[in-house]
């Protein structure tokens, strides 16, 4: 039987995520390493894990703006080694793992601030599947940035919302999404696809059997003799 979280996750993916996607896409544009990694895809995957709604997405935009996308924070860089990928990109690059962990703690801080503890306990369990020591990392990161949640106000959130909606309506084509697409087809970031293609090529090579080369028939030479003269 599906768990309560599984049901919520499936319902969110089917019904709610589409309303949050435009906000996430706009937020991803502001990342200073969006040209190197599929930031939007990572952010979308984390939003699904934490069931981020529209209001929380606005608060999240405020958090990453105020922390200036600080993926180089020591709390992040010193704890990202064991972080698992969330979008099936096989990369052990520390910078990429820092990005995942940063987005996770920033997202969970929003859930923590805007929800009752009983409603988000399962989310912390899901986070631990990706980063085993997530709870401790989050607690330390939240203490460091507690001033951000204390000074937040409805006016501030409304201003962030207005900025995001303006960008959604007026921004140029999102080249970070193009980077996402390129990275997804790159062998370095999509090893499963690359391995599958190599396997298919080898299979085709085995199926193509070399043609058997038959010896050519030599013409029979007639030898002139006294008994059998050549006519």
pLDDT, tens only, 39-51: 999 999 999 999 9
CB 104 within 8 A of CB 48: no
Residue 191 domain flag: no
Provide the domain count of the chain: 1
Residue 214 domain flag: no
Q: Which domain holds residue 176?
A: 4-185
Residue 76 domain flag: yes
Return the H-helix or E-strand segment holding 204.
helix 191-207
Residue 213 domain flag: no
CB 51 within 8 A of CB 85: no
Question: What is the C-alpha separation between 110 and 56, in angstroms, rounded?
Answer: 6
Least confident of 33-42, 84-93, 182-191: 182-191
Residue 193 domain flag: no
Residue 49 domain flag: yes
CB 91 within 8 A of CB 47: no
Question: What is the C-alpha separation between 162 and 160, in angstroms, rounded?
Answer: 5
Q: How confident is the model at residue 72 (pLDDT cuts 50, 70, 90)?
A: very high
Greatest extent of the chain over all pairs of C-alpha atoms, in Å = 123
What pLDDT, in 10s, does the model give residues 88-144?
776 789 999 999 999 999 999 999 999 998 889 899 999 999 999 999 999 999 999
With the C-alpha atoms ordered 168, 170, 173, 176, is the resulting torsion angle positive or negative?
negative
Q: What is the mean pLDDT of residues 68-95?
A: 91
Residue 219 domain flag: no
Residue 121 domain flag: yes
Q: How confident is the model at residue 222 (pLDDT cuts 50, 70, 90)?
A: low
């Amino acid at each position: 039987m599906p768990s309560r979280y599984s049901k919520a996750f499936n319902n969110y993916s089917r019904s709610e995520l589409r309303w949050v996607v435009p906000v996430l896409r706009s937020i991803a544009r502001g990342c200073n390493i969006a040209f190197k990694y599929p930031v939007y895809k990572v952010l979308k995957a984390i939003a699904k894990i934490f069931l981020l709604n529209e209001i929380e997405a606005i608060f999240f935009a405020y958090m990453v703006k105020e922390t200036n996308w600080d993926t180089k924070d020591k709390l992040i860089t010193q704890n990202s080694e064991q972080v698992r990928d969330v979008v099936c990109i096989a990369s052990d690059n520390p910078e990429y793992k820092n990005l995942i962990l940063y987005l996770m703690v920033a997202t969970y801080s929003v859930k923590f601030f805007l929800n009752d503890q009983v409603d988000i306990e399962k989310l912390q369990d899901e986070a631990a599947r990706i980063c085993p020591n997530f709870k401790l990392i989050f607690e330390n990161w939240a203490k460091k940035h507690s001033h951000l949640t204390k000074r937040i106000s409805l006016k501030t959130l409304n201003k962030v919302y207005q900025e995001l909606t303006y960008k959604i309506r007026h921004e140029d084509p999102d080249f970070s999404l193009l980077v996402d697409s390129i990275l997804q087809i790159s062998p370095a970031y999509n090893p499963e696809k690359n391995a599958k293609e190599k396997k298919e090529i080898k299979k085709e090579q085995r199926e193509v059997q070399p043609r058997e080369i038959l010896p050519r028939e030599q013409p029979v030479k007639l030898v002139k003799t006294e008994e059998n003269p050549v006519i």
